[in-house]
């Protein structure tokens, strides 16, 4: 039940015109208010307050309305009947799952042979939550870990391994794959992590090395057997590492781990389409598509299909990936989650997709986000000044939770500490406006008070424990003669669950869900504080009524927490 929508639809229907329904901060005068009379007064040629009296009388006829009143120049306040709210609370989290869309979601999208860094945090966390929300609302989603497994970093890493182990057979002209035993060429994840940065630094100083790496990249892309065998060895190491991160972040597994390499197999399809339309132009040995438009006020460089070395480009593989997804999944939408720096890239790709009538461009959505900065406002670094790796960050947050528990004299098991750290990390990411930068401070996000993940978990743990002790059921309890403000406010907050989830989906904005969870926890805690449940002097009917409200709150909070991919510990 989406209370806001229910009320709003009923009023619109009653008045035969869409009105603007607002939720006042202070509910003393009404649960909702509208400026409808002021908006309509001019056309009606009547004084707003007078018109408001008429409109309010008609709104009062609605069976769920307890009362209306008029305030100021013609605002109408609307109070909902208690028994309506009471009964609605039982089904607040039941949502009609009209299957509407198939969405291909491209997030995570980690790189082979490159360590995961802070830039992969938001795409993972926000992507996973949007995926959960979409499924919850009844959409079909297909998640893609569009791995970076095919570009120049592969050539650089292979060239680097060659410089370390020139005797390995992968580089020999008489390479024979059948003679290879992978165990003879151990590459650990920790080692692999160091190769790309070292290779890339060397490439900057050593032109011959860089050229060699470029040749290797092109050869690999053309099926060179030795390079392919070596590539498969470190690909496996990287995929295992990614699986570890996915589990650590409590993300749903990806439906498809298919990235640039897979897309590159379908390049000929899009190349053919480009040629048929005469869109490919040679340019200094490369093949490009002009995507600039007269109306562009920002720079719009050409889309590069093949670079001057004949290697597949990032742009080309993304174009081919659209072809692949359309052919395989025929989705209604494709969502891409990356940081804001890839905006130009996706604009170019989408423009070419449009020129080819490959996919309706309005259904290709780049959901980009801002960067995560350190407490000083500068890009987040580890203590030794390096760009922070994803695992470093997780460990940093775990350490901060441990420190807090020690300071508070709490002893919690490792699993609980991990769950709290996970909530701290994810919640701060989800609650910020996706498009803006935010400051990440491990000490602040692990606080048990304020807008933090631990606060959310703590509220849930306490609520769960009360309901468990009381052995609460899902049955609708009898409504007490009066509802106090804290009980009523909590019910209304619970009835805002569906709207929050739907608007998070519609705006692709996880902060709407995360901040809803926070508001809900605040109402729960106020209720808990002011409305004793299991205390001995509480009459049985009052206790049952409060348990009913608490149980409804628990359903909404647990569902919100599940959508955020957090784990609630048994105690904390």
Residues that bind ligand ARG (CB under 6 A): 106, 109, 111, 146, 148, 318, 321, 336, 338
- For residue 339, the minimal CB distance to ligand ARG (Å) is 7
Cα–Cα nearest to 462, from 420, 410, 521, 409: 521
Partner residues linked to 154 by β-bridges: none
Query: How near is the Cβ of 151 to ligand ARG at its closest, in Å?
Result: 9
Residue among 155 and 453 whose Cβ is closer to ligand ARG: 155
CB of 437 to ligand ARG, least distance (A): 17
Closest distance to ligand ARG from the beta carbon of 149 (Å): 9
75 sits in which H/E element = strand 75-80
Of the pair 338, 428, the CB lying nearest ligand ARG is at 338
Closer CB to ligand ARG, 313 or 338, in the complex? 338
- Rounded least distance, CB 248 to ligand ARG, Å: 18
Own/partner contacts of 410-413, CB < 8 Å, gap of 24 or more, are 410/572, 412/569, 412/572
First to last CA, the chain: 32
Q: Which helix (H) or strand (E) holds 307?
A: none
Q: Are 552 and 491 in contact (CB under 8 A)?
A: yes
Between CA 440 and CA 105 the distance in angstroms is 26
Whose CA is closest to 218, among 281, 155, 275, 269?
A: 155
Min CB(62)–ligand ARG separation in Å: 49
**Residue 527, H or E segment:** helix 510-530
Q: Tell me the two tokens of residue 63.
A: 């069976």
Q: Which is nearer to ligand ARG, 106 or 496 (CB)?
A: 106
Q: How far is CA 335 from CA 239, 269, 338, in A?
A: 23, 22, 10
Q: How far is the CB of 336 from ligand ARG (least distance, A)?
A: 5
Please say which residue, 242 or 514, places its beta carbon nearer to ligand ARG.
242
Least gap, CB of 566 to ligand ARG (angstroms) = 25
Q: Where would I find the H helices in 61-188?
A: 82-88, 119-136, 152-164
Question: Least separation, in Å, of the C-beta of 346 and ligand ARG?
Answer: 8
Give the phi and the psi of residue 104 in degrees, each rounded to 5: -85, 125
Element (H, E) at 278: none
Tell me how far, at minimum, the Cβ of 342 lies from ligand ARG, in Å.
7
Complex with ligand ARG: residue 312 or 318, whichever CB lies closer: 318
What is the residue whose two structure tokens read 């605040």?
A: 522
Closer residue to ligand ARG in complex, CB, 318/496: 318
The residue among 65 and 322 lying less far from ligand ARG, judged by its C-beta, is 322
| Closer CB to ligand ARG, 150 or 175, in the complex | 150
Is 109 in contact with 338 (CB distance < 8 Å)? yes
Q: Which CB atom, from 332 or from 441, has the smaller least distance to ligand ARG?
A: 332
Query: Residues with Cβ < 8 Å from 300, sequence gap 6 or more?
Result: 291, 292, 293, 344, 347, 348
Q: How far apart are CA 133 and CA 505, in angstroms?
A: 7
Cβ neighbors of 328 (< 8 A, separation 6 or more) are none
> Considering only CA atoms, which of 430, 439, 433 is closest in space to residue 518?
430
State the minimum distance, in angstroms, from the CB of residue 369 to ligand ARG.
12
Q: Interhelix angle for 36-44 vs 48-60, to 10°?
A: 120
Nearer to ligand ARG, 313 or 510 (CB): 313
Tell me how far, at minimum, the Cβ of 200 lies from ligand ARG, in Å. 14
* Cα–Cα distance for residue pair 459/557, rounded to 1 Å: 9
Looking up tokens 């893609």 gives: 144
What are the structure tokens assigned to 182, written together?
Answer: 């992978």
What number of helices (H) and strands (E) belong to the chain? 21, 13
Angle between helices 497-506 and 510-530 (to 10 degrees): 160
Would you report the helix, strand and coil content of the chain in percent, each value rounded to 5? 55, 10, 35
Shorter beta-carbon distance to ligand ARG: residue 109 or 416: 109
């Amino acid at each position: 039940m989406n209370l806001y929508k229910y009320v709003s639809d009923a009023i619109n229907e009653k008045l035969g015109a869409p009105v603007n329904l607002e939720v006042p901060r202070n509910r003393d005068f009404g649960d909702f208010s509208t400026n409808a009379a002021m908006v309509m007064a001019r056309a009606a040629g009547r004084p707003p307050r007078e018109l408001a009296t008429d409109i309010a009388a008609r709104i009062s006829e609605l069976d769920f309305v307890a009362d209306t009143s008029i305030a100021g120049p013609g605002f109408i306040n609307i109070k909902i009947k208690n028994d309506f709210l009471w009964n609605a609370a039982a089904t607040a989290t039941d949502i009609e799952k009209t299957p509407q869309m198939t969405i291909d979601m491209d997030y995570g999208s980690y790189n082979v042979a490159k360590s995961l860094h802070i830039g992969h945090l938001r795409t993972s966390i926000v992507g996973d939550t949007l995926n959960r929300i979409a499924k919850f609302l009844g959409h079909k989603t297909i998640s893609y870990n569009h791995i970076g497994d095919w570009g120049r970093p592969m050539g650089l890493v292979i060239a680097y391994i060659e410089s370390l182990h020139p005797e390995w057979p992968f580089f020999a002209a008489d390479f024979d794959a059948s003679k290879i035993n992978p165990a003879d060429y151990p590459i650990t994840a920790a080692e692999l992590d160091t190769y790309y940065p070292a290779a890339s630094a060397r490439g900057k100083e050593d032109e011959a090395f860089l050229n060699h790496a470029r040749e290797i990249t092109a050869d690999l892309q053309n099926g060179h057997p030795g390079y392919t065998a070596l590539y498969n060895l470190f690909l496996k190491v990287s995929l295992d590492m990614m699986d570890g991160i996915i589990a650590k972040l409590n993300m749903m597994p990806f439906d498809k781990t298919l990235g640039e390499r897979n897309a590159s197999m379908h390049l000929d399809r899009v190349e053919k389409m480009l040629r048929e339309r005469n869109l490919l132009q040679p340019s200094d040995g490369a093949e490009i598509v002009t995507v600039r438009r007269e109306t562009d006020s920002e720079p719009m460089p050409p889309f590069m299909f093949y670079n001057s070395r004949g290697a597949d480009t990032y742009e080309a593989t993304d174009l081919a990936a659209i072809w692949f997804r359309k052919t395989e999944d025929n989705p209604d939408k494709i969502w891409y989650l990356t940081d804001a720096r890839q905006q130009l890239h996706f604009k170019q790709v989408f423009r070419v997709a449009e020129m080819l009538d490959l996919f309706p461009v309005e259904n290709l959505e780049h959901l980009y986000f801002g960067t995560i900065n350190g407490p000083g406002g500068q890009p987040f670094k580890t203590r030794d000044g390096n760009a922070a790796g994803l695992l470093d960050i997780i460990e940093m947050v775990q350490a901060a939770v441990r420190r807090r528990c020690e300071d508070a004299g709490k002893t919690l098991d490792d699993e609980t500490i991990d769950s709290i750290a996970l909530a701290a990390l994810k919640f701060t990411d989800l609650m910020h406006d996706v498009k803006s930068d935010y400051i990440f401070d491990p000490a602040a996000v692990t606080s048990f008070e304020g807008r933090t993940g631990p606060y959310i978990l703590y509220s849930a743990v306490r609520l769960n424990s009360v309901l468990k002790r009381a052995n609460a059921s899902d049955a609708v309890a009898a409504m007490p003669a009066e509802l106090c403000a804290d009980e009523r406010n909590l019910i209304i907050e619970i009835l805002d669950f569906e709207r929050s989830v739907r608007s998070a989906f519609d705006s692709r904005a996880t902060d709407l869900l995360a901040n809803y969870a926070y508001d809900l926890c605040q109402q729960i805690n106020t209720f808990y504080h002011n409305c004793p449940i299991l205390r001995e002097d509480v009459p049985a009917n009052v206790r049952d009524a409060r348990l009913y409200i608490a149980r409804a709150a628990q359903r909404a909070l647990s569902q919100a927490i599940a959508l955020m991919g957090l784990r609630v510990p048994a105690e904390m």
